[in-house]
Amino acid sequence: MWLQLGVRHDAAAAKAEAAGLTVIQDRCPKIEFGRLGGELSWFGVDSGIVSAKVRRAPKPPLKTEPDVQPGTETFGFETRSVHAGAAPDPVTGARITPIYQTASYVFDDADQAASLFNLHSFGHVYSRLSNPTVAVLEERVANLEGGRAGVAAASGHAGQFLTFFTLLEPGDEFIASRNLYGGSLTQFGLSFKKLGWTCHFVDPTDPENFRKALTAKTKGIFVELLANPGGIVVDLQAVAKIAHEAGIPLIVDNTLATPYLCRPIEWGADIVCHSTTKFLAGHGNSLGGVVVESGKFDWGQNDKFPSLTQPEPAYHGLTFYETFGDFGFTTKARAVALRDFGPALSPMNAFLSLTGIETLPLRMDRHIANAKAVAEFLDGHPKVEWVSYAGLKSSPFHDLAKKYLPKGPGAVFTFGLKGGYDAGLKVVERVRLFSHLANIGDTRSLILHPASTTHRQLTDEQRKAAGAGPEVVRLSVGIETAEDLIRDLDQALRD
Domain membership flag for residue 46: no
Domain membership flag for residue 456: yes
Say if residue 314 is in the same domain as residue 399: no
**What is the pLDDT at residue 57?**
58
Domain carrying residue 377: 361-493
Domain membership flag for residue 398: yes
- CA-closest candidate to residue 434, choices 449, 423, 448, 445: 445
Say if residue 287 is in the same domain as residue 403: no
Domain membership flag for residue 353: yes
**Domain limit, last residue, from 297, 323, 357:** 357
Say if residue 330 is in the same domain as residue 244: yes
**What is the pLDDT at residue 450?**
87
Domain membership flag for residue 475: yes
Banded pLDDT at 65 (limits 50, 70, 90): low
- Domain with residue 438: its CATH number is 3.90.1150.10
Say if residue 279 is in the same domain as residue 410: no
Banded pLDDT at 195 (limits 50, 70, 90): very high
Say if residue 262 is in the same domain as residue 218: yes
Query: Alpha helices of 246-395 — where are they, by DSSP H?
Result: 258-261, 306-309, 320-324, 328-332, 339-341, 347-357, 360-379
3-state secondary structure of 225: coil
**What is the pLDDT at residue 63?**
55
Say if residue 262 is in the same domain as residue 373: no
Domain membership flag for residue 472: yes
Q: Report the alpha-carbon distance of residue 290 to residue 349 in Å, rounded.
A: 12
Say if residue 229 is in the same domain as residue 149: yes
Say if residue 242 is in the same domain as residue 125: yes
Q: Report the alpha-carbon distance of residue 19 to residue 49 in Å, rounded.
A: 26
- Domain with residue 294: its CATH number is 3.40.640.10
Are 448 and 437 in contact by the 8 Å Cβ rule? The answer is yes
pLDDT in tens, 3-38: 888 788 989 999 999 999 988 888 787 777 777 777
Over residues 183-209, mean pLDDT: 96
Over residues 134-158, mean pLDDT: 98
Residues 6+ apart with CB under 8 A from 404: 225, 233, 236, 257, 262, 267
Say if residue 331 is in the same domain as residue 396: no
Domain membership flag for residue 431: yes
Residues 6+ apart with CB under 8 A from 155: 275, 277, 287, 288, 289, 343
Say if residue 399 is in the same domain as residue 299: no
Residues 6+ apart with CB under 8 A from 318: 118, 119, 311, 312
Are 238 and 207 in contact by the 8 Å Cβ rule? The answer is yes
pLDDT in tens, 248-281: 999 999 999 999 999 999 999 999 999 999 999 9
Work out how many domains the chain is built from and give that number: 3
Query: Alpha helices of 246-359 — where are they, by DSSP H?
Result: 258-261, 306-309, 320-324, 328-332, 339-341, 347-357
Q: Is the pLDDT of residue 55 over 90?
A: no
Say if residue 349 is in the same domain as residue 403: no
Per DSSP, which regions of 93-183 are E strands? Answer: 149-153, 173-177
**What is the pLDDT at residue 62?**
55
Say if residue 379 is in the same domain as residue 312: no
**Domain limit, last residue, from 357, 380, 400:** 357
Range 265-296 burial, b when 16+ CB lie within 10 A, else e: bebbbbbbbbbbbbbbbbbbebbbbbbbbbbe
Are 221 and 250 in contact by the 8 Å Cβ rule? The answer is yes
